[in-house]
Amino acid sequence: MRRETMLNATLMLILLGFPLWAWSVDEPFLITLSTRAVIFAIAGVGLNFALGIGGLVSLGHAAFFGIGGYAMGILAYHAQTYTALAEWPVLIEGTKSMPVIWIVAIVASALVALGMGALSLRTTGVYFIMITLAFAQMFFYFTISWPTYGGEDGLSIYVRNGFPGLNTMDPIQFYAICYAWLVVVLFLVHRAAKAPFGLMLSAARQNGARVQAVGQVPYRLYLVAFTISGAITGLAGALFADLNRFVSPTMFSWQTSGEIMVFVILGGVGRIFGPVAGAALFILLEHVLGGLSEYWHVYLGAILLGVVLFARGGLFGLIAGREVAHD
Amino acid sequence: MTEPILKVEGISKAFGALQASKGITLDLRQGEIHALIGPNGAGKSTLIQQITGGLAPDAGRVVFGGQDVTTYSTAARARLGMARTFQISSLAMEYTVLQNVVLGALGARGGVFRFFRPVMKDKALLAVARDALAQVGLEEFERFRTSELSHGQRRQLEVAVALTLKPRAFLMDEPMAGLGAEGTQRLMGFLDGLRAQAPILLVEHDMDAVFALADRISVLVYGEIIATGTVEDIRANPLVRSAYLGEEDAEGVA
């Protein structure tokens, strides 16, 4: 077996075993910690689809994370207050059903990513970074100044949304849902990366002129990649809001975009499982270093510098070798 | 006589005060190798870019396969069968040799927006790709990473990718550059047979190769075509001799 495959398997087994162990010794806090790691991993896998395969350095993925969060928040808020979301032209009511919320979160963030991508993909390099950042900031300030859904204070949802046949308030059961989503997302992204789309998208990152010379348009590839990427990160946002039973404009902040990018860089850009390692390591550092000092971000910064300077392939590059496999 | 596959009609392009193309007219006929020669800075690359769609001409038209493609994108022209190779190898360097030719076959076939089936197990694409590799003699290198190839092998791979594009005409920008004597000989032999498959517009510095291969030659000097004709016409043309080949001895030019 290749080392990268083994690393992937180890990672997924740890993420399965650790929460089960925490459950058996009745440590719900550790399960919640694992849930955070898994949800962040999904967000990171989403960003990595655009960043790792397509080379699109987006500093605006907080926009999708937040839209997923607010999709959950707004729907659940209307359900818990028994008010309609819209009465005209058709009656739209809130919902406490997770599957419905997921679909809304995925569709909404995909549409926003499509619009955002259509405009920002006309630029490249540092301009693309700045435009995506600006879009996310627009959402941030908009939610802050929109009192209907809590404004700056955010929205609290009292009871976690429901999934048929499961008690979602039980940490290990909610964890199972998030872990299952991570597996599904990783599988689909892995297939897409090996499919015609992935081959052409990665080629566009490597050499745009080559892609045009074989009759394809890089812009279209990027736009589809950005849309899929946004949809995945939006799903993570909905799960994150359900984990906390709370949404606030913080989800839209540029720090959130930065953290998602940190998961990708820590784990290894372009590795399908990279963000999973990155998110797990991030949560671990946050927990361990955060216990030592409330200024733990200083240490995180030092580690990030070390990775960028000495281990460009992130954790995966260190352990599984530098070359990204293509076969 | 059949209609030329490619017609360049009165193309002009200026960059500020520099007139890079001055009313250039040329065509590419079925079954021929049409060489475009000219000293450095004559505007050959600018012309190629206007034919392939990288630059929009200020005036004039490009007609390909009977269609006016002047406003078409590079990708749209490629899909019509305009297969180009680059002056400086332009490949996906992280990919294997096989992946690069599959990329060409996929681009030409379409159906890029498919997300589930592994592309490297697509038998139809692999067959096209391996056939192209075999034609240029790279079949034993299919598992090599492109960045590991020698300069000459990359040039061969460029040609292989062009072969996968269902080509109706080839535009080759200095395919012999840096190949060495043996590589040049091999590529010349290959291009000689290739013209039957689709005609070639060949931009080339290697005069021996041009005189040996070309059915017709156009000479570009300071953005203008000063002569078009057979090898004998060009050798005998006094304008060409003074402007380009050097007056003493046209035969001796290497």
Assess whether B69 and B178 both reside in one domain: yes
Cβ <8 Å between B115 and A188: yes
Strand locations in B48-187 (E): 59-64, 67-68, 82-85, 169-173
Assess whether B97 and B191 both reside in one domain: no
Last residue of a domain, one of B139, B166, B193: B166
- Of A204, A286, A221, A263, residue with least CA distance to A61: A263
Provide the edge-to-edge strand list for the sheet that holds B82-85: B82-85, B169-173, B200-203, B33-37, B216-221, B224-229
Instruction: Give the pLDDT confidence of B140-165 residue by residue, as tens digits.
Output: 999 999 999 998 899 999 999 999 99
**pLDDT lower than 50: segments of chain B:** 248-254
Can you give the pLDDT at residue B252? 44
Assess whether B180 and B251 both reside in one domain: yes
Counting Cα atoms < 13 Å in the Cβ hemisphere of B90 gives 21
pLDDT grade for A327, boundaries at 50, 70 and 90 = very low
The C-alpha atoms of residue B156 and residue B137 are separated, in whole angstroms, by 8
Q: Which of A195, A209, A214 sits opposite B117 (nearest CB)?
A: A195
Assess whether B65 and B178 both reside in one domain: yes
Dihedral angle, C-alpha A144, A146, A147, A149, nearest 10 °: -90
> Tokens in use for A149?
């859904």
The overall average pLDDT reported for chain A is 94
Cβ <8 Å between B115 and A192: yes
Instruction: Give the pLDDT confidence of A28-78 residue by residue, as tens digits.
Output: 999 999 999 999 999 999 999 999 999 999 999 999 999 999 999 999 999
What DSSP element (H or E) covers B217? strand B216-221
Domain range for residue B217? 1-81+167-254
Which chain B residue shows the shortest CA-CA distance from A207?
B92
Query: Considering the entire predicted model, what is its pTM?
Result: 0.94
Can you give the pLDDT at residue B240? 83
What average pLDDT does this structure show over A166-179? Answer: 97
Residue pair A171/A32 in contact (Cβ under 8 Å)? The answer is yes
Assess whether B59 and B107 both reside in one domain: no
DSSP A83-113: -EEE-SSS-EE---BHHHHHHHHHHHHHHHH
- Of B69, B87, B65, residue with least CA distance to B77: B69
Can you give the pLDDT at residue B176? 87
Assess whether B206 and B130 both reside in one domain: no
Last residue of a domain, one of B166, B191, B212: B166
Q: Amino acid identity of B118?
A: P
Q: Cα Rg for chain B, rounded, in angstroms?
A: 19
Q: What are phi and psi of A213, to 5 degrees?
A: -70, -25
Instruction: Give the pLDDT confidence of A24-42 residue by residue, as tens digits.
Output: 999 999 999 999 999 999 9
With beta carbons under 8 A apart, name residues in chain A contacting B78: 212-215
Cβ <8 Å between A327 and B93: no
Can you give the pLDDT at residue B200? 97
Instruction: Give the pLDDT confidence of A224-250 residue by residue, as tens digits.
Output: 999 999 999 999 999 999 999 999 999
With beta carbons under 8 A apart, name residues in chain B contacting A188: 115
Task: Give me the helix-helix angle, A171-194 and A218-244, nearest 10°.
Answer: 170
Residue pair B218/B34 in contact (Cβ under 8 Å)? The answer is yes
| Percentage of residues of chain A with pLDDT beyond 70 | 98
Cβ <8 Å between B107 and A207: no
The C-alpha atoms of residue A5 and residue A9 are separated, in whole angstroms, by 6
Can you give the pLDDT at residue B239? 85
Assess whether B172 and B152 both reside in one domain: no
Can you give the pLDDT at residue B2? 78
Please report the ipTM that was assigned to this predicted complex.
0.91
Instruction: Give the pLDDT confidence of A308-324 residue by residue, as tens digits.
Output: 888 878 888 888 876 55
- Of A32, A307, A188, A6, residue with least CA distance to B115: A188
Q: Check which CATH number belongs to the domain holding B59 and give it.
A: 3.40.50.300
Last residue of a domain, one of B166, B199, B228: B166
- CA–chain centroid gap for A152, Å, is 23
Can you give the pLDDT at residue B254? 39
Residue pair B218/B22 in contact (Cβ under 8 Å)? The answer is no
The maximal CA–CA distance of chain B, rounded, in angstroms, is: 65
Can you give the pLDDT at residue B212? 93
Can you give the pLDDT at residue B39? 85
With beta carbons under 8 A apart, name residues in chain B contacting A199: 99, 102-103, 106, 119-120
Assess whether B245 and B142 both reside in one domain: no
Can you give the pLDDT at residue B253? 43
Can you give the pLDDT at residue A292? 87
> Tokens in use for A221?
């590839």
With beta carbons under 8 A apart, name residues in chain A contacting B79: 215
Assess whether B182 and B240 both reside in one domain: yes
Q: Cα Rg for chain A, rounded, in angstroms?
A: 19
Assess whether B72 and B136 both reside in one domain: no
What's the number of domains chain B is made of?
Answer: 2
Assess whether B190 and B69 both reside in one domain: yes
Can you give the pLDDT at residue A1? 62
DSSP state of A161: P
